[in-house]
Every structure is written in structure tokens, then in C-alpha cells.
Amino acid sequence: MFLFKRKIPLVIMKQHIVFGKIYTITNPDYPDQVYVGSTEQPHINGRKYSHIKSNKNGVLSYGNLFDTDKYECACQYLKEGLLGRELRKLEREYYDRYKSDGYSLTNQRLPWISDEEKAEANRRRVKAHYYRHRKCPLKIN
């Protein structure tokens, strides 16, 4: 009986370094509206065109940002290696900053939610569910 050892070549794949980016989409015709987003795509134009396609197909709504051909995509590049959760946290900081400056944000969802915010949202959901499905009035002493 022969024992053959199969040698498996070690292939080192070329690694692509991805840089996280925070970007805003604005329209000069609607200066008070802004969309704040983040992407790990290498080119911001790819992400911008996916927003345009989603808006055109009615999948997502971005307010009046894409009503004319004057929309602009301004990109702010971040530090190397800032990806995933850290990128979403930083996007949330920009989101809050624009909101506190009085802009009307067209984002439909928050970029990142803290544990405290999740707990508060869950309390509100449970309370609303209770009031919808309760069988007898709640007595408060």
C-alpha cells in the first residue's frame, strides 16, 4: 500500500486595502437637505450611482436631493483601516453634527445605534404592545 501526500500550494492572495469614507449628498436647489452616508467601496461614484438607482426605482427616498441634475456628492476621507462598526459610529457623529446644525437629514435609518438607544426603543415597543393588547385597564396607585 502506498501513501501519497498531496502537497497543497500556499497561495497568498493580493490583499486589497479598503478605506472607509464618510460622504454627504447635497443639492444646491435644496440647501437645507443633506444625506450622510458611509461606504467601504473603493470609488465613491459607485455608491453615489447606487443611491440614484434606488431613488429612481422607488426603493428608497432621499427627499428632493435627486429632483434635478444639480446634486453633488462631497466625500470626506477618513483614516486608514476605519471600517465596520467604527465607520458607522463616525457616520453617526457626522449625522448628529448635521442635525444639530439645523439641516433636514434625508436618511431613513440611523447609521449606528448605541446600547442605551436600543434599550429605550425596546422599552417603547414593549409598552406600545402592552397598551394595544391589554385586556383590562391598567390601575395606577
Walk me through the domains of the chain, giving residue ranges and CATH numbers: 21-109 (3.40.1440.10)
pTM: 0.68
- Are 101 and 58 contacting, i.e. CB atoms less than 8 angstroms apart? no
CA separation for the pair 62, 73 (Å, rounded)? 13
pLDDT along the chain (141 residues), means of 10: 45 55 84 86 80 80 76 64 80 91 88 87 84 63 49
* Gyration radius from the chain CA atoms: 23
